[in-house]
Amino acid sequence: PIHALACLGLWDSFYKRVFPHVMAKVAPVYNQKVYKQKQELFSSLRRFAGPSGRLRLLEIGTGTGTNFQFYPAGCRLTCTDPNPNFRTFLLKNLLQNQHLQLERLVVASGEDLHQVADGSMDVVVCTLVLCSVSSTRRVLEEVLRVLRQGGAFYFLEHVAAEHCSWTYLWQQVCDPFWKYFGDGCCLSRETQEELEKTNFSELNLRHFHVPPCWIPTSPHIIGYAVK
């Protein structure tokens, strides 16, 4: 039935209204599982602040704003998300993180950030987003465009498992229907390969698993890349 609704163009509009409510419940649980990893990852954000000492940060696919608590005080924040229905949850989260300064809230996909000027950002952040975009390559091209020289791209993404593993087989089995409940999420995306092909001057990346290890979203990559 869901596939039929999708073919008729009815599922997407319905789920885009429901998905923010789902993420408002799920995201805090996920944040607890990866709290240490996020804390360690974002602890180095300040080193990429511009000459003024203020950090200009763009987050792609901000969603409900679950990363806000990890950003440094005084951070000048530009939030983007293609789904306008996240706005209420995002603004609520901002009220709980008043150490941040929201500069812009833009409804846009990661593949098309034309509203953000070239070289205007010190840092771009993307967590659990590259799995659901239509083109990872185009998103990374936009990341490079909006970053200043020497700026950094921070990422945390679930990715394809080792191809010889049972987890990868499980990902292949689940993929056809997973996208309907994950807002287009692909379980077996080879995000590391796209990062390696992108023209970053430096790539720092490591693998880890989010428990329980048998779930198809367990394999993750985390790190940052410098323009």
Residue 58 reports pLDDT greater than 60: yes
Q: Check residue 5 and give its pLDDT.
A: 47
- Tell me the pLDDT tens digit for each residue of 6-15: 555 555 776 7
Domain count for the chain: 1
Mean pLDDT (whole number) for 209-221: 94
Note down the domain range covering 168. 2-226
- pLDDT tens digits, residue range 185-213? 999 999 999 999 999 999 999 999 999 98
DSSP per-residue codes, the chain: -HHHHHHTT-HHHHHHHHHHHHHHHHHHHHHHHTHHHHHHHHTTGGGG--TTS--EEEEET-TT-TTGGGSPTT-EEEEEES-GGGHHHHHHHHHT-TTSEEEEEEE--TT--TTS-TT-EEEEEEES-TTTSS-HHHHHHHHHHHEEEEEEEEEEEE-PPPTTSHHHHHHHHHHHHHHHHTTS--TT--HHHHHHHS--SEEEEEEEEPSSTTSTT-EEEEEEEE-
CATH code for position 95 = 3.40.50.150
